[in-house]
Amino acid sequence: MSEGNTPYSTPGGSPVERFAEGTAAHTVPQGESPERLGWIWKIVNALLFLGVTVMLLSVGAQVLTRYLGVSLTWTEELTRLVFQSMMFLGMAAGFRTVAHPRVALLVARGPTWVKKASAHVYAVVGAAFFIVLMGMAWRLVMQQINSGESTPSLGVNMYLISIVLLGSAALALLAHIQTVYFSKEMRRAIEEGEITA
């Protein structure tokens, strides 16, 4: 995809593109030291791969078996549970490439000190949100372990899904720290406001 005719291109495409190119086997951008804790994100990618595949096959099986008159009765529930988990993981992984939509108008036009400050604001506000979310998700996990909430068809304990949310909040927190303080490239991207999506 060519971006050459827009003033918003950066050499080598946006980080989203660079990331996308390296998803299957994550490659290190030139001039950057290898990503710390890269193995964590490899696991996240593997889970996303597995989860989306399961959703696809489960919905497919739902259509096929109903058509054949022998409906599987757990497909809807399975799809929904996996979907919930995947969306939280995907949300967290989005922070690794600073892919979440922002209004970068003021930041991108501002003087250097505004740009510098905006990266810290980005990190601090994001961290605050995900730390609160982690704390509250933890309480929910405890509540659900205590109440024994489980799904009607597969009997999956609901605290497992809340643990995914908890883990995703932790991953998002990690991604904030990595992008702002350990990746020159991502840091610049945040300061320039170039990746608003």
Site residues (CB under 8 A) for other proteins, limited to 12-41: 14, 16-17, 20, 23-24
Query: Could you tell me how many residues of this chain bind other proteins (CB under 8 A)?
Result: 92
Toward other proteins, which CB reaches closer, 36 or 143?
Answer: 143
- What is the Cα–Cα distance from 79 to 100, expressed in whole angstroms? 25
Q: Is 96 exposed, middle or buried (0-12, 13-18, 19+ CB in 10 A)?
A: buried
Instruction: Please identify, using beta-carbon distances, which residue of 28 and 121 lies nearer to other proteins.
Output: 121
Query: Is residue 162 exposed (0-12), middle (13-18) or buried (19+ Cβ within 10 Å)?
Result: buried
Q: What minimum distance in Å lies between the beta carbon of 156 and other proteins?
A: 10
Applying the rule CB under 8 A, the residues between 119 and 148 that interact with other proteins are 121-122, 125-126, 128-129, 132-133, 135-137, 139-140, 143-144, 146-148
In order of 29, 61, 73, 130, the CA distances from 122 in angstroms are: 23, 43, 45, 12
Helix (H) / strand (E) containing 39: helix 38-67
| Binding letters toward other proteins, positions 163-192, x by CB under 8 A | --xx-----------------------x--
The single residue among 29, 35, 94, 182 that binds other proteins, judged by CB under 8 A, is: 94
Residue 67 CB partners (closer than 8 Å, separation 6+):
none
Distance in Å, CB of 33 to other proteins, minimum: 24
- CA dist 6 and 14 (Å) reads 12
| Pattern 50-69, other proteins, x by CB under 8 A | -xxx-xx--xx-xx--xx-x
